């Protein structure tokens, strides 16, 4: 089985990293029978709380055990407590107690992840960037897709995800100020590619594989104009070799949909919570294109 490993990144918060990771993963599992692992790397634990009920999550990750925190804490403390089989959560429990999408797995985060950044620099490069790889490499092959839901920064945990991924996906809310942020992000990924790519592992080739427009609103032409600007910038960055030639703006754009926002507090991906809403429809169409786009990519 060839596994696609993707990191959902953007140093902006609230742009849809978690919404895209959770909802594309759930759509792949529910409508395409794919086996998908979501790895939550954000101390805010949003994808964990979207896919688990709060009491279930709190019990599972008590004291940071059985979470992605444990992976980094082990590396810092020189311990080996993390156990993948015990940590992974299989399926999504609905309020009736029924387990849906059993082939959707989650490696939850815990708030203790906040402490990692303070101590992680006690480790040296390249070890510091290979912590996730060491902990997960034997397990990724069991999945069709592995998604890293990254925090809104490009610090060490995010870099660990970038180096273990085939590609990065950048969720993006189109507006004028986000444009310069996108350029900085693309240049940073290109710099990582130049600095750290080596022959030791076939995944250490940081690149942007696709951009997903999220929270799209059709009112007025502000968004349309911002997307034109983004397309021009993508073309320029491709010309200068900062982005690879096959990077694309994935279609369709995910429209703003109140049912998606509601589904977070119901702890269900939108494909389970409100399969008929426009958000579920957009994620379903996007996932179809996503499958085609990543099918032939390494």
Ligand X SMILES: Nc1ncnc2c1ncn2[C@@H]1O[C@H](COP(=O)(O)OP(=O)(O)O)[C@@H](O)[C@H]1O
Joined tokens for residue 68: 């992605």
- Using CB under 6 A as the binding rule, whether residue 92 contacts ligand X is answered as no
Residues 240-279 that bind Mg ion (CB under 5 A): none
Residue placing its CB nearer to ligand X in the complex, 109 or 242: 109
- Which residue lies nearer to Mg ion by CB, 92 or 234? 92
The residue (of 19 and 107) whose beta carbon lies closer to ligand X is 19
Q: Return the residue nearest Mg ion (CB atom).
A: 18
Matching residue, tokens 């919570």: 273
The entry of ligand X, Mg ion, none near residue 157 (CB within 5 to 8 angstroms by kind) is none
Considering beta carbons, is residue 18 or 23 the nearer one to Mg ion? 18
Closer to ligand X by Cβ: residue 15 or 71:
15
Question: Whole-angstrom Cα distance, residue 180 to residue 176?
Answer: 8
Q: Interface with ligand X includes 279 (CB under 6 A)?
A: yes
Residues of this chain, 30-49, that bind ligand X according to CB under 6 A: 46
Of how many residues is the chain composed? 298
CA distance 291 to 25: 11
Please identify, using beta-carbon distances, which residue of 23 and 130 lies nearer to ligand X.
23
Q: Find the binder of ligand X among 101, 254, 280, 286 (CB under 6 A).
A: 254
Distance CA 136, CA 270 (A): 28
Residues 1-30 that bind ligand X (CB under 6 A): 13-19
Work out which of 110, 214, 284, 287 binds ligand X, going by CB under 6 A.
214
Q: Is 17 among the residues that bind Mg ion (CB under 5 A)?
A: yes
Interior/surface letters 66-101, b for 16+ CB within 10 angstroms, e for the rest: bbbbbbbbbbbeeeeebebeebbbebbbeeeeeebb
Pair of tokens at residue 240: 């200068």
Stretch that binds ligand X, among 100-108, 204-212, 237-245, 258-266 (CB under 6 A): 258-266
Cβ nearer to ligand X, comparing 21 with 75 = 21
C-alpha angle 147-34-162 in degrees, rounded to nearest 5: 15
Separation of alpha carbons 100 and 80, rounded Å: 32
Residue 268 has phi, psi (to 5 degrees) of -140, 135
Which residue stretches of 165-277 are H helix? 176-196, 222-239, 258-265, 270-273
**How far is 214 from 19, CA to CA, in rounded Å?**
9
68 is an interface residue for Mg ion by CB under 5 A: no
Task: Give the Cα separation of 293 and 281 in Å (integer).
Answer: 18
CB of 274 to ligand X, least distance (A): 12
CB atoms within 10 A of CB 169: 26
**Least distance from C-beta 83 to ligand X, angstroms?**
27
The answer to whether 261 contacts ligand X (rule: CB under 6 A) is yes
What's the count of helices (H) and strands (E) in the chain, helices before strands?
A: 13, 8
Question: Closer to ligand X at the Cβ: 49 or 243?
Answer: 49
What are the tokens at 135?
């902990």
Instruction: Build a one-symbol-per-residue string for 170-209: x at contacts with ligand X by CB under 6 A, - elsewhere.
Output: -x--------------------------------------
**Binding residues vs Mg ion (CB under 5 A):** 17-18, 46
> Which residues make up the interface to ligand X (CB under 6 A)?
13-19, 46, 152, 171, 214-215, 254, 256-257, 260-261, 264, 279
């Amino acid at each position: 089985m060839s596994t696609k490993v993707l990191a959902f990144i953007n140093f902006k918060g609230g742009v849809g990293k978690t919404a895209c990771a959770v909802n594309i993963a759930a759509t792949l599992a529910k409508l395409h029978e794919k086996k998908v692992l979501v790895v939550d790397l954000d101390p805010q634990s949003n994808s964990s709380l979207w896919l688990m009920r709060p009491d279930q999550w709190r019990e599972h990750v008590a004291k940071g055990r059985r979470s992605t925190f444990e992976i980094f804490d082990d590396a810092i403390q020189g311990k080996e407590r993390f156990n993948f089989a015990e940590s992974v959560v299989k399926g999504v429990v609905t309020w009736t107690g029924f387990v849906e999408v059993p082939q959707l797995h989650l490696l939850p985060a815990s708030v203790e992840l906040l402490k990692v950044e303070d101590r992680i620099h006690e480790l040296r490069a390249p070890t510091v960037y290979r912590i996730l790889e060491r902990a997960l490499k034997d397990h990724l092959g069991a999945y069709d897709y592995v998604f890293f839901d990254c925090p809104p920064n490009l610090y060490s945990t995010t870099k660990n995800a970038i180096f273990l991924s085939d590609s990065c996906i950048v969720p993006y809310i189109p507006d004028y100020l986000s444009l310069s942020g996108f350029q900085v992000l693309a240049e940073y990924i290109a710099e990582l590619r130049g600095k750290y790519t080596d022959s030791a592992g076939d995944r250490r080739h940081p690149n942007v594989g696709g951009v997903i427009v999220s929270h799209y609103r059709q009112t007025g032409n502000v968004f349309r104009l911002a997307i034109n600007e983004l397309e021009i910038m993508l073309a320029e960055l491709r010309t200068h070799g900062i982005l690879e030639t096959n990077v694309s703006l994935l279609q369709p754009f995910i429209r703003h949909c109140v049912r998606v926002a509601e589904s977070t507090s119901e702890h269900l991906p939108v494909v389970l919570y409100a399969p008929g809403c426009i958000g579920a429809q957009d994620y379903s169409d996007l996932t179809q294109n996503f499958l085609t786009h990543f099918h032939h990519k390494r």
